[in-house]
């Protein structure tokens, strides 16, 4: 047997043994953390999530026919009873318009009806636009397949012209391919602030 054949025969045995030794060392030196102890939830949170079939950090994203982007996230979501929408906490949406502007929506609670493509923001709803409007209302219905929504109750806010209140607000386009408008209705009251208007 020549020298090369002897080296090949030795390496055939030596290399697999070396690999086994390295693997054994990895397992022996690996940390022995208790996998149950490293779960980032308390036992009460785990049992609550199992009982309510809760989903953590769900999100929905889509694009409308006009190229507008809709991104909706929630802290948690739980399925509703049959025929009822899912419930959500920490509801947050970002609507990016075709012209580049954005509308941001937030509320502590909400409902998601995926069969009707509607998200309902409930309780202390906060709305902001890149045009300088900041609004608050108690209920806002927003479509998930288009930039379309409405707040059927009182809306308060401030903007470039001053502070105002309205009995209703609609977020809509007058035509299918037209720009998005926020329309205030039902007893709109504006406190004009010339300093804001001059900015």
Query: What is the arithmetic mean of pLDDT over 1-10?
Result: 78
**Which pLDDT score is estimated for 35?**
57
Residue 111 confidence (pLDDT): 92
Tell me the per-residue pLDDT of 143-191, one tens digit each, with 9 for 90 and over.
888 888 999 999 999 988 888 899 999 988 877 677 788 888 888 888 8
Is the predicted pLDDT of residue 75 greater than 60, yes or no? yes
Q: Is the pLDDT of residue 39 over 70?
A: no
Average pLDDT of the segment spanning 34-41: 62
The mean pLDDT of the chain is: 83
Measure the CA angle with vertex 192, ends 189 and 194; round to 5°. 170
Please name the residues in contact with 119: beta carbons below 8 A apart, sequence gap of 6 or more: 72, 91, 93, 110, 111, 112, 113, 141, 142, 144
Tell me: pLDDT of 54 over 70: yes
Give the CA distances from residue 131 to residues 90, 92, 127, 147, in Å, rounded to whole numbers and listed in that order: 24, 19, 12, 16
Can you tell me the mean pLDDT for 97-117? 89
Say what the pLDDT of residue 36 is: 56
Q: For the chain, list the domains and their CATH numbers.
A: 55-198 (2.60.450.10)
What pLDDT score does 156 carry? 92
Q: Give the model's confidence band at 73: pLDDT under 50 very low, under 70 low, under 90 confident, else very high.
A: very high
Greater confidence, 199 or 97? 97
């Amino acid at each position: 047997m020549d020298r090369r054949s002897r080296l090949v025969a030795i390496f055939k045995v030596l290399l697999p043994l070396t690999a086994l030794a390295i693997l054994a060392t990895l397992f022996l030196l690996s940390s022995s953390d208790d996998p149950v102890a490293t779960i980032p939830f308390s036992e009460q949170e785990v049992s609550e999530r199992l009982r309510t079939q809760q989903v953590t950090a769900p999100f929905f994203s889509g694009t409308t026919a006009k190229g507008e982007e809709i991104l909706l996230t929630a802290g948690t979501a739980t399925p509703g009873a049959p025929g009822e929408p899912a419930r959500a906490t920490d509801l947050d949406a970002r609507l990016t318009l075709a012209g580049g502007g954005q509308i941001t929506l937030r509320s502590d609670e909400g409902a998601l009806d995926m069969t009707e493509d509607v998200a309902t923001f409930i309780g202390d709803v906060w709305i902001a636009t890149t045009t300088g409007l900041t609004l608050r209302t108690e209920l806002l219905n927003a479509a998930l397949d288009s930039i379309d929504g409405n707040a059927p109750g009182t809306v308060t806010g401030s903007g470039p012209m001053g502070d105002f209140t309205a009995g209703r607000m609609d977020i809509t386009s007058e035509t299918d391919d037209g720009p998005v408008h926020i329309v205030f209705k039902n007893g709109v009251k504006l406190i004009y602030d010339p300093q804001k208007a001059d900015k």
